Structure 1
């Protein structure tokens, strides 16, 4: 059965944060999801990779069309979400549209922040995870290698990533709206991944009074805190020490909130109405949404930062046209490769059939030589036999055809055989 390249999922434009966090498959959830996907569909889903970030959860696969239609149902069941709640937010791309989508995502054209570079690293990590899980094959491996090459080409030949306002820079801007000068504020980072690393770098450039990194693994927290001249904290110390900080930026892979309403409420009482800025970049969210109702707490989620950075994208929109042109060319190249790949079984069968004819005629020639027949007669018979079998297929097709079908065969024969000009 034929296999299609398919991408389906949801992102920041198709689904609100409340839905995205219910579908998120980050961290330790990714490998079990890949195993579950393959177990559910068996050979019908030949290859698969899952990209899950704060802005999107997408499944890239090489699958039979019937299986592809069932993938949304599988995702809803796997994530324990109603199919009716999930379906309105899903999109699906097939074949060249799926390839085009992968190229655009990796190039930063489908991001909340136009041209942001983090998505490429996230996609590479998703591919490594799929490879480790044994769910990549020739088709998706080729797709992603070309995807990474296209992203590099777009970034090197266009201005799509220049002067981009990142989520990290936006977080600093939000803190400045509340506190103005940040040199007297104390900043707490929860997590030690790539996004926290970026945020810490941006905040450190403002020379805050104190910077602390809290993480489940202290070794990773110490690596980051050393680079930004900060200190570390155990996650278990958060309830007692949260009130010490003016800005809290959190981005972990936790499936449950780390900062609940009660903990933050106690911290605000201890701060005696001094404001606190909380930036939650995690999906699922690290900070309970109800925290936003508290007085003197300024809570921002990833979608809030996305809206802030959109205002800085106009200067780069001219580069989008050039980037789209590059992507379109590379899509056509990939589809040509895919079409060539689909012909491989046919070419192999042709070679096998020709080999069988060759073997049969050689065996016949050897038997004639063994009977003492002259080599010249044997060669003549060998050439005659090969010629007859070589012409049998097209001659039989011509004799059995008529009308438009015969005209099509007559038009194709000069391309397949070196016929003399008539």
Structure 2
């Protein structure tokens, strides 16, 4: 029994390559089924996690699978994932990572706890992982192995957030966005801010901007109800997404983070906005993967465009990672990994235990059949019972006694110790 993890993230792949592998939540169930079919006939457990900063495939093998069979699935999984991103397997391998067994679990635990995030301790990832697991379960792609690993990852994440200060760093990205705005514009109280999207990241960033009391805040979102709900919480105005291009000149700061597969703000729209603003500068922050704002926008004069990777560099440069909290969190992860590795080892012995039960049951049935035939022939009951118990005892001791008699040196001493542990516990 083992677990495999394959993926690419903000540390291994550039932004535009990551964007090619992004999968919307509603497509995860369909994709895990497709991957299972691609990995047939192994029929492994499969889950896929896809967020702004990572796309990862988790594969679980049953207790009957040997490590050789598990590793044989790595290359087909890479080929399938490469096809989803429209790239060559060789290019994907160059920008991806592969983990197996306890190390795959360690990776999952660190991801759930926010330790592998672009911004240390960001809270969205745990909810995203839970949603991915639900989708895999609904698609019938989860089994005992992955279910156990993910449930333990959620428990580790909860412990990390409750016992360390990792969660305090989740605000770093939002704080960095505000600092950028303050560096470009002296007085945010005189600036109009547009938020495109209504997810957790936008809400976090918008909350930080709201504390600066800008002149105006507006929310544009594809779902009018969700956009209205966020706008009401912030005391902001609401803008229909269809009117985004027309309204763009009205805003000094634009921050976008949606799940759109195509850019929402193109070069032409920004050029027209700059012309209408008479070249007054605009700050644009694109936190989405794939991008919400066409990258060519960054080439325009008077436009200051930052991506999610740019903000992460700002966060790290400002020293907002606290190593004491990280060390404490890593210790919690290590304990969780050790526990899961022990569980994997125990589960790996399930086929052996099943084989032992079958063998002893076969012996029992064979000797019981002999005893019943002897009783039917009228033999003495005590003699039949004596023969039954003697035969069973000899069968169960035969293997151990044969090894004791046939071994020598270190092997013999190991068999002596094993037999004592198995059959003579009280005398050891």
| TM-score class, shorter | over 0.9
Alpha-carbon deviations, 1:385-408, whole Å to 9, x = none? 212222222233445545554443
Report deviation, 1:164: 4.5
Q: 1:44 maps to which residue?
A: 42
Cα distance in 2, alignment partners of residues 243 and 407 from structure 1: 84
Q: 2:101 maps to which residue?
A: 95
Report deviation, 1:256: 0.9
Residues 378/332 of structure 1: CA separation in 2 closer, same or farther (3 Å cut): same
Is residue 8–residue 96 contact of structure 2 (8 Å, CA) maintained in 1?
yes
Is residue 197–residue 256 contact of structure 2 (8 Å, CA) maintained in 1?
yes
User: What RMSD over aligned residues (CA atoms) do the two structures have, in Å?
Assistant: 2.0
Q: 1:411 aligns with which of 417, 423, 426?
A: 417
Is residue 105–residue 149 contact of structure 2 (8 Å, CA) maintained in 1?
yes
Q: Does 1:180 align with 2:164?
A: no
Is residue 420–residue 427 contact of structure 2 (8 Å, CA) maintained in 1?
no
Q: 1:232 maps to which residue?
A: 238
Q: 2:256 maps to which residue?
A: 250
Q: Does 1:378 align with 2:384?
A: yes
Q: 1:213 maps to which residue?
A: 219
Q: Does 1:333 align with 2:339?
A: yes
Report deviation, 1:219: 1.3
Report deviation, 1:286: 0.5
Report deviation, 1:132: 1.9
Is residue 82–residue 88 contact of structure 2 (8 Å, CA) maintained in 1?
yes
Cα distance in 2, alignment partners of residues 92 and 214 from structure 1: 39
Cα distance in 1, alignment partners of residues 425 and 200 from structure 2: 64
Residues 420/56 of structure 1: CA separation in 2 closer, same or farther (3 Å cut): closer
4+ residue stretches of structure 1 with deviation over 3 A? 26-29, 311-315, 396-408, 419-422
Partner SS state of residue 70, structure 1? helix
Q: 1:118 maps to which residue?
A: 124
Q: 1:264 aligns with which of 250, 267, 270?
A: 270
More displaced, 36-45 or 289-298?
Answer: 36-45
Partner SS state of residue 166, structure 2? coil
Q: 1:196 maps to which residue?
A: 202
Q: 1:60 maps to which residue?
A: 58
Is residue 61–residue 140 contact of structure 1 (8 Å, CA) maintained in 2?
yes
Is residue 45–residue 61 contact of structure 1 (8 Å, CA) maintained in 2?
no
Q: How does 1:258-297 map to 2 (within 5 A)?
A: 258-297=264-303
Partner SS state of residue 188, structure 1? strand
Q: How does 1:310-349 map to 2 (within 5 A)?
A: 310-313=316-319, 316-349=322-355
Alpha-carbon deviations, 1:226-265, whole Å to 9, x = none? 1112222222211211111111111111111111101111
State the TM-score, normalized to the length of structure 1: 0.93
Cα distance in 2, alignment partners of residues 405 and 69 from structure 1: 39
Q: 2:64 maps to which residue?
A: none
Q: Does 1:388 align with 2:386?
A: no
Cα distance in 1, alignment partners of residues 426 and 233 from structure 2: 76
Partner SS state of residue 387, structure 2? helix
Report deviation, 1:98: 0.9
Is residue 187–residue 248 contact of structure 1 (8 Å, CA) maintained in 2?
yes
Q: Does 1:9 align with 2:15?
A: no
Partner SS state of residue 122, structure 2? coil
Cα distance in 1, alignment partners of residues 377 and 43 from structure 2: 57
Residues 84/69 of structure 1: CA separation in 2 closer, same or farther (3 Å cut): closer
Q: 2:314 aligns with which of 308, 312, 325?
A: 308
Q: 2:67 maps to which residue?
A: none
Report deviation, 1:33: 2.4
Report deviation, 1:218: 0.9
Cα distance in 2, alignment partners of residues 269 and 381 from structure 1: 102
Report deviation, 1:280: 0.5
Partner SS state of residue 44, structure 1? coil
Alpha-carbon deviations, 1:352-372, whole Å to 9, x = none? 221222222222222222322
Is residue 30–residue 139 contact of structure 2 (8 Å, CA) maintained in 1?
no
Q: Which structure 2 segments of 5+ residues have no match?
A: 62-69
Cα distance in 2, alignment partners of residues 170 and 238 from structure 1: 25
Is residue 5–residue 56 contact of structure 2 (8 Å, CA) maintained in 1?
yes
Q: 2:85 aligns with which of 79, 84, 95?
A: 79
Report deviation, 1:282: 0.5
Partner SS state of residue 9, structure 1? strand
State the TM-score, normalized to the length of structure 2: 0.92
Cα distance in 2, alignment partners of residues 234 and 128 from structure 1: 31
Q: Does 1:157 align with 2:157?
A: no
Cα distance in 2, alignment partners of residues 221 and 417 from structure 1: 70
